[in-house]
Amino acid sequence: MTNKALIVGAGGVANVVAQKCAQNSDVFGELLIASRTESKAKTIASRIKNIPVSTAKVDADKSAEVAALIKDFKPKMVLNIALPYQDLAIMDACLETGVDYLDTANYEPKDIAHFEYSWQWAYHERFKDAGIMALLGSGFDPGVTNVYTAYAKKHHFDKMDTLDIVDCNNGDHGKAFATNFNPEINIREITQNGRYFENGDWKEIPPLSIRQDISYPEVAVRGSYVLFHEELESLVKHFPEIKRARFWMTFGDEYIKHLTVLKNVGMTRIDPVKFKGVDIIPLEFLKALLPEPSTLGENYSGKTCIGCQITGQKDGKPQNYFIYNVCDHAECYKEVQGQAIAYTTGVPAMLGASLILTDKWRGKGVFNMEQLDPDPFMAEIGKWGLPWKELFGKNAELV
C-alpha cells in the first residue's frame, strides 16, 4: 500500500511506533517523523531501512505548524506520539486538513495536573461532520486494557460487575531513580490524589494510600497501589453495568522514597518559581536532571505484566477472569532498541492505526478503543509482539 503516516514525536514510544510501522509495510508505505528536536527523529529514521522515511522539525503546540506539515506531506493519518499537552492542537490540525487522528494518552492542560477525556470528547461532532476519525488512547493502558475489557464482555460475560486493571513493571534499569516514560507526565500522574469508581460515584483517596500485594502471573508478587488512570473514565461510561473499577500500579520502596523526598522539597511542583530572576517550573527542571526514558533500554532486565481482572456473570453463573500480557525488557531492546514500557505503548499505537487505515476499524467522530470491535485487534496484537493469555476461576483471582 501507499499509505503515508505522520508520526508526531520522537521519544521512546515514537521509536517503537516507527519501527513497527516499517515492519507492517503491507499497510504503511511511507513515514514522516516530526519533532521539536529533529535530531531525535533522525536517529529513529536511521533504524528504518525497508520503507521511505523522512523527518521534519515541528512545534506541536502550534496547530498551524502541524497543519502545514500535513498539507505538505499529505498523510492518510496522524499518529500523535507527542505530549498530552499537545493533543488538542494536533486534533485541530487534523480537523483543518481532514485527516484521521490517533493518540496514546488523553489531553491534560500544561498548568493543571488534571487529565480527563472531556476536552477530547467535545470534538466528536466536529470530527463526525468532517467525516474523519479520532482514536483516543491507543497504547496499552489506556488502549489494550480497553480492548481486553471489550473482548471479555463480548466473549465471556453477560454482565460485568468489577474491573481491576493491574500494571506491574518488575524491571531493573540500574538507575537510582528514573521514570519509564516522560518524567513530567509520569510524576504529575502519581503525585495526584487517587480515584476509583464504585456504585455510580468516584471515590477520591490520598496519593498511594491504598496498597496491596498482587501476584502477577509469570513475573512476581509486587506491592501495588491504587491510582486514577484515564481508561477508567471511558470504560465505566461505555460499560455502565460495572459496579467498581480500579487501576493498580506497582512501585518499589526506593522509587516511593525518592518521590516522597522530591515532593517534600518542592521539586514536583508545576507552578513557576523565581530562581535568579528567572521563572522556572521545578518539575521541568527535575525532568532535565533525570535519565531520558528512551536511554533506559540497553541495560534493562526483567518483565512487565499488564492485564484486566474482571468478575461478573455468564449463563447465570459467577465468572472470574483475568486477561494479560507479559513483556520482556531485554527482548524489546534486542528488537527495537527500547524498553518494555515504550514497546507495550508503541505496538498498539501502530496496530490501531493499521486497523483504521485498512477500514477494519472505521467511524466518524471521536472514539475510545472499547467502542470498536475487539476481535480484529485481538487477532493481530500477538503477531506484532504482545501475545495475550487468559485465566479463569480461582487462577484469575489476583486482587
Place of cell 515532593: 263
* Helix residue ranges, H only, 46-204: 63-73, 87-97, 118-121, 124-130, 144-156, 183-191
Residues of the chain with pLDDT under 50: none
Where is 204: in which H helix or E strand? strand 201-205
The amino acid at residue 213 is D
At a CB cut-off of 8 Å and minimum separation 6, what does 276 contact?
none
Residue-wise DSSP of 257-306: HHHHHHHHTTTT--S-EEETTEEE-HHHHHHHHSPPGGGSGGG-BSEEEE
With H, G, I as helix, E, B as strand and everything else as coil, classify residue 391.
strand
**What is the pLDDT at residue 294?**
66
Q: How far apart are CA 246 and CA 311, in angstroms?
A: 13
Domain boundaries, the chain: 144-330+388-396
The amino acid at residue 110 is K
**What is the pLDDT at residue 219?**
96
Report the b/e string of 234-245 with b at 16+ CB within 10 A.
bbbebbeebbeb
Evaluate the omega torsion of the peptide bond into residue 142 and state whether it is cis, within 30 degrees of 0.
yes
Instruction: Output the nine-digit C-alpha cell for 270.
Output: 508545576
**Cβ atoms of residues 380 and 353 within 8 Å:** no
CATH ID of 144-330+388-396, from 3.30.360.10, 3.40.50.2300, 2.60.120.10, 3.10.290.10:
3.30.360.10
Give pLDDT tens digits for 76-100.
999 999 999 999 999 999 999 999 9
Give pLDDT tens digits for 189-235.
778 899 999 999 999 999 989 999 999 999 999 999 999 999 999 99
**What is the pLDDT at residue 49?**
92
Minimal CA–CA distance to 366: which of 62, 166, 95? 95
**Cβ atoms of residues 50 and 25 within 8 Å:** yes
Residue-wise DSSP of 219-261: TEEEEEEE---HHHHHHHHH-TT-SEEEEEEE--HHHHHHHHH
Minimal CA–CA distance to 312: which of 166, 154, 194? 154
At a CB cut-off of 8 Å and minimum separation 6, what does 3 contact?
27, 28, 29, 30, 76, 77, 357
**What is the pLDDT at residue 234?**
98
Residue 193 DSSP symbol = P
Q: What is the pTM of this model?
A: 0.93
